[in-house]
Amino acid sequence: MTALARGPLMFNVEGLELSAPDRDRLVHPLAGGVILFARNYAEPRQLDSLTAAIRALRDPPLLIAVDQEGGRVQRFRDGFTAIPAMRRLGERWDADAAAAAAEAIRLGATIAMELGAHGVDFSFAPVADLDYGASAVIGERAFHRNPNAVAHLAAALCAGLRSRGMSAVAKHFPGHGFVAADSHAETPIDSRPLAALEKDDLVPFGALVRRGVEGVMPAHVIYPAVDAQPAGYSRVWLQDVLRRRLGFDGLVFSDDLSMAGAGVAGDVVARAEAAQAGGCDMLLVCNDPAAVDDLLSRWRPRPSPDLPRRCAAMELRASQ
């Protein structure tokens, strides 16, 4: 194991076990974490071996994450509990808010217990977007249209995660649910004024920050009434609103810089520069090993004195 501080990049590995190129990338000083996908999972013992191999490369070990939200976004299935889409909890909230929150706690604890047992530090969850009925890419991943329902259920899910030693990442700040465009394929534009976002979309994020959420992921969405830059590149959103006004002091993860919605900045190095300048701490580059290699060879990030502390808060902790 090599003593090497975590860097500001998180990226994926190729398959069910580490390849030689994977290992070369993961021991680079700019590497800080790994995001796993369905192709990295066959069965629980294989996942144990993969996460152990990743952890053995570095000291402190690289962070290991996955999208295990539930519904259609659940990367590990065979051998894991099937987590329902979060909209099901919202539907239950309409009939019995307390019962829905209790179920959110139970599901959060289940996610954390199962992932933690196999060496995964956290899931990129909860989705704190509102369900306006417009966004296919968000859709049933959102709990509800009502911001108070989303705040209640997302906080409950976080409480469940935390009960089993797992941190949470609220996404996609300041809200991706209003726009129909998919930021995987284009750069969505949400033309609403800040007052409308404050009234609705920012409510769950503010509630989660007040309850100590450890991570936040901004959207690749432009809100031109607030800033010309997508939220993930915007000092207005990430510094003025998220950090200063809402008081967030945790880890800001960029959304995947390989997505089309991130393309307004230019090539992958320009995207990384824009994300870090805007206020992102950890930058995701997924499913594009050539782009990762380009970053590792050419990008020279500014030092981030807060990165070690913020990363440490995302580490899997012993269950309470």
Question: 172 catalytic, yes or no?
Answer: no
Cβ contact 27:59 at 8 Å: no
Residue reference for tokens 């704190």? 128
176 is catalytic: no
Q: Which of 203, 118, 208 is nearest to 157 (CA)?
A: 208
DSSP state at residue 211 = T
Q: How far apart (Å, rounded) are the C-alpha atoms in residues 13 and 221?
A: 27
Which position among 67, 121, 227, 255 bears the catalytic label?
Answer: 255
Q: Which two tokens stand for residue 196?
A: 């409308």
CB count within 10 Å of CB 296 equals 18
Max CA pair span of the chain: 54
- Would you say 169 and 125 are in contact if contact means Cβ atoms under 8 Å apart? yes
Q: Which residues contact 302 (CB under 8 A, 6 or more apart)?
A: 276
Catalytic residue among 28, 182, 184, 293: 184
| Residue 75 near residue 13 (C-beta atoms within 8 A) | no
Active site residues: 184, 255
